[in-house]
Amino acid sequence: GENVEQHPSTLSVQEGDSAVIKCTYSDSASNYFPWYKQELGKRPQLIIDIRSNVGEKKDQRIAVTLNKTAKHFSLHITETQPEDSAVYFCAASLYSGGGADGLTFGKGTHLIIQP
């Protein structure tokens, strides 16, 4: 089955700086790579996703890059703000809805924005 590794486990950056979180996956058949943000005591919420036929996707301050050959993808947050503080999870799947095998998640990165 799929295995997703995520680094770092904790990331502390100054407000206004950029943050980068990296993930690797094992199953070359995986086709869908979402990123979820989970605030303390809240539900995971999709913030951006990318499919295997795209190398990069951007939405305002957030971007995701995918390297299918190397089987890794990254989340980039620019001009970080206090409200960006949360736990971020990457995931991989064959299907965006999860399908029969579901989404496989990384262990998460606790992003701390220092004022």
Partner 1 sequence: DAGVTQSPTHLIKTRGQHVTLRCSPISGHKSVSWYQQVLGQGPQFIFQYYEKEERGRGNFPDRFSARQFPNYSSELNVNALLLGDSALYLCASSLEGYTGELFFGEGSRLTVL
First to last CA, the chain: 41
Contact 75, 35 (CB under 8 A): yes
Q: Please, which residue, 22 or 78, has the CB nearer to partner 1?
A: 22
Pick the binder of partner 1 from 21, 35, 44, 50 (CB under 8 A): 44
94: nearest Cα among 1, 23, 7? 1
Q: How far is the CB of 83 from partner 1 (least distance, A)?
A: 19
Name the DSSP letter for residue 93.
Answer: B
| Contact between 8 and partner 1 per CB under 8 A | no
Contact 88, 42 (CB under 8 A): no
| Contact between 89 and partner 1 per CB under 8 A | yes
Q: Please, which residue, 1 or 115, has the CB nearer to partner 1?
A: 1
Q: How far is the CB of 70 from partner 1 (least distance, A)?
A: 21
# of chain residues touching partner 1 (CB under 8 A)? 27
